[in-house]
Amino acid sequence: MSFIDIHTHNFSNQNAVFEIENCYPNATEFTNSFSIGIHPWYIKKEKTEEELSFIDKQLQLKNCYAVGECGLDKLTETNFEYQINIFKQQVALSEKHQKPLIIHCVKSFQEIIQLKKELTPKQPWIIHGFNKNKQVALSLIKNGHFLSFGNQLLTSDKLQDSFLETPLNKIFFETDASDINIKDIYQKAATIKGINLEKLKEIIHQNFNSIFIK
């Protein structure tokens, strides 16, 4: 059974690993399994209409698995209200194409939770690269989010505590922009949860099939 990496910037084409490559609207190659979205760091007002139209087209491809990464980031210079506007439009694309949303969130978790309540999406929302404490984790889970854990799971005691409290049916794993092997993240996760590695892989396959495969 393969390892699943739902969010990588470095497509490795390893044996026994299924990867979803993160793509931006300026990408030209869409041969791998991929997701596509406008990251809040790279929002440019003069290009958003064109980029959203491009994303709309790419989402029709069978090897496109999700919208994103997109989201909200209070540390970037982009106007926050405009970030919300662009995020809402990508939520609409997620709903239109019935594909999950991969979310970049920095200091904006309450806003993401509130928007989910307001917009009542049918498609799943996944917080990628989750690295906060268990109170934030439990609040997100309570409000229907999935959490994707990356390389920080290997070293952060705080994140390991959060992961321990996160139900197995709400988790995914990713390498993001790191050069860590996804297999190492799985192995650490299995150790934290006290379960067999093969059992963990089976659970992630079930999670993946339930929301990514229509």
Please write the tens of the pLDDT for every residue from 39-86.
999 999 999 999 999 999 999 999 999 999 999 999 999 999 999 999
The pLDDT > 70 percentage for the chain reads 100
What is the reported pTM?
0.96
pLDDT score of 214 more than 80: no
What the block records as the tokens of 105 is 């969130």
Neighbour count for residue 29 (Cβ, 10 Å): 9
CA distance 178 to 151: 7
Phi, psi of 206 (to 5 degrees): -65, -45
Half-sphere exposure of 140 (CA within 13 A, CB side): 30
Beta bridge partners of 128: none
SS3 state of residue 27: coil
Q: What is the CATH number of domain 3-211?
A: 3.20.20.140
Q: 88 and 103 in contact (C-beta within 8 Å)?
A: no
Mean pLDDT across the stretch 184-191? 98
User: 205: closest CA among 169, 178, 166, 180?
Assistant: 169
**CA angle (202 as vertex; 200, 207 as ends), nearest 5:** 95
CA distance 214 to 202: 18
Helix axes 182-193, 157-165, angle to 10 degrees: 70
Question: What pLDDT sits at residue 47?
Answer: 95
Mean pLDDT across the stretch 147-170? 98
pLDDT score of 135 more than 90: yes
